[in-house]
Amino acid sequence: MPGAVEEELFSPLKRYERIIPGFREFLECLRNPLPKTVRINTLKASVEEVLSGLEERGVEFEPLGWYEHGIKLLNVEKPGNMLEYFLGFIHPQEEVSMIPPLLMELQHGELVLDLCAAPGSKATQISQLMANTGHVVANDVSLSRLSLLRDNYERLGVLNMSVTMYDGRRFPLVCQFDKVLVDAPCSCEGVIRKDFSVLRALGKHAYWRMHKLQRALLLRATRLVKPGGLIVYSTCTFAPEENELVVDYVLKRTRDLLEIEPLELQGLKYAPGLTEWGGRELHPDLVYCARFYPHFNDTGGLFVAKLRRKK
């Protein structure tokens, strides 16, 4: 890619130079393709069985280290063409995409809602972590994306999932859930290493348009979770408007209903959440949120927050 073209392409990201540690390394990392990572699906096979089968077929891999069900494929270009994929033994999933379900403190037998679930990587991971017990409601507003979710949960042997199609902002208040995941639609800056075209759609109007949708989704989640229950909010973007400013808005709107909990995640580097942006002071507890930048762990980008509804 010519230097002038590349500089123009990356120009929307210059607004983050002050907040991203090692900004030059960050930009350099974006020029490189993402590693191929997959989640081993223990609903269909054990980790040992899958790894043994890969070794026998000459597939080179290395464990992610921080997550026993995640591996990096070293000599495979298209994991979706592998036998293990069609058997449901593995699921292609970007490394940081595996983080939000792990922060939900899932217990067997719980009632869990994934408010923006399609195409289902995180929803099926939730079912896996719950060992097909309890019940997972996987909701999305898009019919075409829900068809992909159904394909995935059938292939992966998920048995504890119901699929619904509602606008998450108006999901029915018929019951309350132990845990709610809001993996919100976003401007997708964190997937630049897979798709440079997302850079061309960026701009302040896009950030604020997404902000309004995201805060409405998170506000709905506060009514859908039980007292004492947990909400995990995540995006794959770097924009504070879609991350800290969304959480800050909901904290202030709901007053003392929620508290941000620190993350307990070993083996991955991340930066704390922002407590100031654009001259605006934000809630001090936003420091407990986490920002995963691509150059920290050779991944995509992720923002995540854990919110506990007070009893």
pLDDT at 6: 63
pLDDT at 2: 47
Its domain, for residue 142, covers: 3-31+96-309
Q: Are residues 120 and 176 in the same domain?
A: yes
Q: Are residues 160 and 299 in the same domain?
A: yes
Q: Are residues 194 and 300 in the same domain?
A: yes
Q: What gap in Å lies between CA 106 and CA 129, rounded to an integer?
A: 7
Q: What gap in Å lies between CA 112 and CA 108, rounded to an integer?
A: 11
What positions carry a catalytic annotation?
236
Q: Are residues 158 and 219 in the same domain?
A: yes
Q: Are residues 128 and 190 in the same domain?
A: yes
Domain count within the chain: 2
Q: Which residues contact 169 (CB under 8 A, 6 or more apart)?
A: 213, 216, 217, 220
E strand segments, 23-160: 36-40, 61-63, 70-73, 90-92, 111-114, 135-139
Q: Are residues 180 and 212 in the same domain?
A: yes
- The one-digit pLDDT tens for each residue of the chain (311 residues) are 545 546 667 888 999 999 999 999 999 999 999 999 999 999 999 999 999 999 999 999 999 999 999 999 999 999 999 999 999 999 999 999 999 999 999 999 999 999 999 999 999 999 999 999 999 999 999 999 999 999 999 999 999 999 999 999 999 999 999 999 999 999 999 999 998 888 877 776 789 999 999 999 999 999 999 999 999 999 999 999 999 999 999 999 999 899 999 998 999 999 999 999 999 999 999 999 999 999 999 999 999 999 999 99
Phi, psi of 180 (to 5 degrees): -135, 130
Task: Please say whether the beta carbons of 93 and 64 come within 8 A.
Answer: no
Q: What gap in Å lies between CA 168 and CA 149, rounded to an integer?
A: 16
Here the CATH number for the domain that contains residue 162 is 3.40.50.150
Q: Are residues 242 and 180 in the same domain?
A: yes
Task: Please say whether the beta carbons of 115 and 181 come within 8 A.
Answer: yes
Q: What gap in Å lies between CA 226 and CA 229, rounded to an integer?
A: 5
pLDDT at 264: 87
User: Which domain-ending residue is among 50, 77, 92?
Assistant: 92
Q: Are residues 129 and 271 in the same domain?
A: yes
Q: Are residues 175 and 234 in the same domain?
A: yes
CB count, 10 Å around CB of 254? 16
Residue 159, classed as helix, strand or coil, is coil
Of 98, 88, 148, the C-alpha closest to 292 is 98
Q: Are residues 209 and 223 in the same domain?
A: yes
Residue 70, classed as helix, strand or coil, is strand
Q: What gap in Å lies between CA 231 and CA 233, rounded to an integer?
A: 6
Phi, psi of 97 (to 5 degrees): -65, -20
- The model carries a pTM of 0.96
Q: Are residues 17 and 146 in the same domain?
A: yes
Does a cis peptide bond (omega within 30 degrees of 0) precede residue 119?
A: yes
Q: Are residues 152 and 251 in the same domain?
A: yes
Q: What gap in Å lies between CA 112 and CA 136, rounded to an integer?
A: 5
User: Which domain-ending residue is among 92, 116, 138?
Assistant: 92
User: Which domain-ending residue is among 49, 72, 92?
Assistant: 92
Q: What gap in Å lies between CA 76 and CA 37, rounded to an integer?
A: 10
Cα angle 217, 233, 79; round to 5: 110
pLDDT at 196: 84
